[in-house]
Each structure stands twice: as C-alpha cells, then as structure tokens.
C-alpha cells in the first residue's frame, strides 16, 4: 500500500510549500461560499424576517418581500462584477499576491458593515456589495495563481481546491445559521477568518513563478520554482525553455488586451472558459445556494434549515473525490457525467412536485423525493461542474492573456447569475417548484456545449495547450494529440523524467498527429 501511495502523482509532486499555497490561496473561495450559504439560510429565519422584512397579514407572519430578496441577492452579484473588473488591473500590474491583499481589505470593510446593520437592510446590501467585490477579485486571482503554481500532473486537484473551499464555506454557513438561528448578525463575523488568514500568510506566499517569467524576472522565478518543485535540478532548463516559449508566443501571437481574447485561436479558449462558467450558473447553483431554504418553505418542508445542512454537507463530502477524478477521468468526461446527473435530478424534482395534487402541500413521499434529489444534485455538482468550470477556466488561457481570460469567464458567470438572483424570487413565487424544470433544461444544453467546445486539458502542461490551440487541433481530439514542441519538453522536465508518454520519438509523434487530424 505504501509503494502504491508513493507511485501517485500527489505524493511525487506535492510538498508542504505547495500545500500551504493551495490551502491559503483558496480562502477567498471559502468566503464566497460562506456568504452565499449564510444569505440563503438567513432568508428563511423568522428573526431575520422580523428584523428586515414586513408583516404579511395573509400569512399572519413576518416575511422578506420579493423585491428585498431580489435586491439583496442581486447586489452581491453586482459587487462580484466590480471585483472582476478590478482583478485584471491589479493582478497584471501588481502581481497575483497583491490581489490577495486588496481582497482582504475589501472583505474586512464589507463584513463589518454587514454585521453591524442592526435594522438597516440597505446597509446590509451595501456591505454585501463590498464583500462580494473582494469575492469577485478572489474568483479571478485564486484560479490564476493556483494554475501557475501547480505541477502539471496534479493541476486538476490543485484547481479543484477553489470549489472544495467554496463548498466548505457554504456548509459551514448553513451549519452556523442552523445552530445560531437567533444570532444572525454576530454569525457574520466568522467571515473575518478569510482576510485575517490571508494577511497572516501573506509574507510566506511566493509570487506566481509564471507571472515573474512573463514579466522577465527570470532569476526570481527560478528561485520560486526551485522551492515549489520536487525536481529542483531541472528548473534551470525549464526556465530556459519557458523563456524561449514566451518569446515565441510574443513574436507569433502578440496579445495584451481583452479584445485579443476574441482574436485568432484565442477565441476558442475564451468561448470554452466563458461557456463553462455561464452554464455552471444556468444549471441552478445560485438557486440552490441562495433560495433553497425559501424553496423548501414554499413546498411545506417541516425543517428547511436542517435539510439545507444535510444538502450542503453531502456536497462538501463529495468534493473530496475531485482531488482524484479530474486528473484520472479527465475534464470532459467529468463534465459530461455531471450534466446528465444534474439534468435528471432537477427534472426529477419538478416531476415529484407535479405528482402531488397541490404544490403548496406536498405529500410526504413527494417531500422525501425532492429532498433526496436535491441532495443528489448538489453531490453530483460537487464532483463535476463545481470544480470543473474553475479548472477549465484556470488552465485554458494562454500565458499572455490568462488573467484576462479568467476575468471574462468569471464576468460571464456572474453576469449570468444576476438575472437568476433578481428574477428567481418572482419566478419561484409564480410557478413554485416548476422552476427546477428550467435548470434541468440548461443541464441538457450543457451536454452539447461540452461536446463541441470544451477540449480535454488534463495531463498537459500549460505550454502544450498553447501548441495544440495554435495547431487548431479539433476539440474532441485533444486527448490523442502528441505534442512535439517546447511544451512537451517542459512537461518532461516537470515530471522529472517520470512521464512515459513523453518518451516518444519525433517521427512517431508526427505520424500520430497526422492520423489525429485525419
């Protein structure tokens, strides 16, 4: 068993510095998940409804009106968009590390405003805008930083940390709301562990080595890479090859602006990155995270908060699988399986609701079926589309435009979440549980998009992906293509000579590629 463990890429390529980088950098994702989970749970609390809502004579209880639910949820998306706009400016000019410092300051100010909003709903909304500005910045800098620091063979597991910590944040928030249902204001201060964690770890985090290389700081990059690599003897050669590769990229495909993301072969990368982010939102994750408690209350569930803890907890546990699946099964297979499962469970939820004679008072069997299907949906999401969209986004962009590609992708995601967050309360109020049919249909559409636009990027260095896009390899043939350029040599050096598929003659590689194109 020990020999088997030592043969795994996680054992061979990871070290304590990389683990520290992965855990610390992903704190921003935890903050994102916590605020989403806190808001979705708080909307269903009587104490929260009495503090910020209005008395509904028909229901004889205090409720949060649809307009406040819509504005409170939607302003979070607006803050994320603001953070996304700031991200490429900060990360490209001042580095990835500075992004962590700025998002920490934004989150501290926002959390204090949220937690101190005793009765003012609009102060709470302003606090959410500022918190989510930091979260929007994190959604750009974290995947970029992780993809540029991670060894190629474990890049999928490394990038899966973003979704893993998001899920943990959601679960933690739902648990806190359930346990502290009478202290919703003070529970928000728990979010401060995110910026405090960044500030404490900041002196120990290195700058992204590839960022340093792109800025011509080769000596600094070599020092960082030697600390992060388990094969430091090969680093000088890798630096030389990266230097040549970057010069070649700049000579053949000079690109520096957002508009360049839509030109030439970069367009395919941008479409894939934006598409997976938009479809992740369209399949219902915002609905699950923000409106699941009010949805279950509308359906007549006896204890929606407890059920929500069960839903988010199961999803969090399933995220552990992603540290293996995305590097073993590949990106495309994982997204395919996820779309099928998520479509079936969302449509099944709607079917269970429709089977009951009255939507307002579901039968016990229908409630149990809905709860089981929603738990299954979030579990499937947890090891497929949850991490998958961030893995694709973080690694598919070219080095010259990576931060801008991540910016466009995350903007697409959150722009898609805005209409969901603003409109869903009204749609849910009008058609009830039938809203799940809409999200199920989007999962069906995602199958077609993955098949046509999302290439297999696992087991490739970032430079190998550059070569394949430049050679215009068809999307469905990426996994069979054999790279022969500098990217392949960089992969070999990253593996320390351990990768067998690199040990192939130039002549054989050319034959394989010719048959692949045919």
pLDDT in tens, 313-347: 887 888 788 777 787 888 899 999 999 999 999 99
Higher pLDDT, 11 or 207: 207
Phi, psi for residue 54 in degrees, rounded to 5? -140, 155
More confident residue, 36 or 149: 149
Residue 142 has a CB neighbour count (10 Å cut-off) of: 29
| pLDDT for residue 172 is more than 80 | yes
Q: What digits encode the pLDDT tens for the residues 392-417?
A: 998 888 877 888 898 899 888 877 77
Whether the CB-CB separation of 45 and 181 falls below 8 Å is answered with yes
* Average pLDDT of the segment spanning 357-362: 59
* CB atoms inside a 10 Å sphere around CB 504: 14
Q: What is the pLDDT of residue 513?
A: 47
- The chain-wide mean pLDDT, for the chain, equals 81
Could you report the per-residue pLDDT of 87-128, keeping only the tens digit for each?
888 988 899 999 999 999 999 999 888 888 767 778 888 888
pLDDT band at 7 (very low <50, low <70, confident <90, very high): low
CATH number at 15-200+236-462: 1.20.1250.20
Cβ atoms of 166 and 319 within 8 Å: the answer is no
- Displacement of CA 388 from its chain's centroid (Å): 7
Q: Is residue 42 scored above 80 in pLDDT? A: no
On whether the CB atoms of residues 170 and 31 are closer than 8 A, the answer is: no
């Amino acid at each position: 068993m020990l020999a088997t463990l030592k043969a795994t890429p996680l054992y061979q390529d990871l070290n304590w510095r990389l683990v520290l980088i992965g855990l610390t950098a992903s704190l921003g994702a935890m903050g994102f998940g916590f605020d989403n989970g806190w808001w979705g749970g708080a909307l269903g609390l009587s104490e929260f409804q009495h503090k910020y809502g209005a008395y509904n004579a028909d229901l004889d209880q205090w409720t949060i009106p649809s307009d406040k639910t819509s504005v409170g949820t939607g302003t979070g998306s607006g803050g994320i968009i603001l953070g996304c706009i700031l991200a490429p400016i900060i990360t490209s000019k001042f580095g990835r590390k500075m992004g962590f410092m700025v998002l920490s300051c934004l989150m501290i100010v926002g959390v204090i405003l949220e937690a101190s909003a005793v009765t003012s709903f609009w102060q709470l909304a302003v606090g959410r805008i500022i918190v989510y500005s930091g979260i929007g910045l994190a959604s750009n800098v974290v995947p970029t930083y992780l993809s540029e620091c991670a060894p190629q063979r474990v890049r999928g597991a490394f990038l899966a940390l973003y979704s893993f910590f998001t899920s943990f944040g959601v679960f933690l928030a739902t648990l806190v709301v359930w346990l502290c249902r009478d202290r919703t204001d003070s529970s928000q201060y728990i979010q401060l562990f995110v910026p405090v964690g960044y500030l404490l770890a900041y002196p120990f985090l290195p700058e992204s080595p590839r960022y340093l290389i792109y800025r011509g700081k080769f000596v600094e990059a070599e020092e960082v890479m030697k600390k992060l690599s388990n094969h430091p003897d090969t680093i000088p050669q890798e630096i030389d090859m990266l230097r040549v590769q970057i010069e070649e990229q700049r000579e053949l495909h000079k690109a520096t602006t957002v508009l360049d993301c839509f030109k030439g072969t970069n367009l395919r990368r941008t479409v894939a990155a934006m598409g997976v982010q938009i479809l992740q939102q369209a399949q219902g994750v915002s609905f699950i995270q923000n409106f699941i408690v009010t949805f279950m209350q509308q359906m007549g569930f006896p204890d929606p908060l407890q059920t929500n803890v069960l839903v988010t907890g199961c999803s969090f546990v399933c995220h552990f699988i992603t540290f293996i699946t995305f590097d073993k099964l590949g990106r495309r297979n994982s997204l395919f399986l996820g779309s099928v499962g998520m479509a079936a469970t969302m449509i099944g939820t709607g079917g269970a609701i429709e089977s009951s004679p009255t939507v307002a008072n579901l039968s016990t069997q229908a409630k149990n079926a809905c709860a089981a299907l929603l738990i299954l949906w979030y579990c499937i999401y947890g090891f497929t589309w949850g991490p998958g969209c961030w893995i694709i986004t973080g690694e598919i962009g070219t080095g010259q435009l990576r931060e801008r590609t991540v910016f466009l992708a995350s903007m697409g995601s959150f722009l898609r979440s805005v209409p969901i967050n603003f409109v869903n309360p009204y749609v849910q109020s009008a058609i009830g549980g039938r809203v799940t049919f809409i999200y199920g249909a989007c999962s069906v559409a995602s199958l077609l998009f993955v098949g046509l636009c999302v290439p297999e990027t696992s087991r490739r260095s970032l430079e190998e992906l550059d070569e394949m896009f430049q050679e215009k390899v068809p999307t469905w043939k990426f996994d069979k293509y054999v790279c022969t350029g500098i990217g392949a040599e960089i992969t070999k050096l990253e593996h320390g000579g351990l990768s067998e598929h690199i040990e192939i003659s130039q002549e054989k590689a050319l034959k394989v590629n010719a048959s692949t194109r045919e």
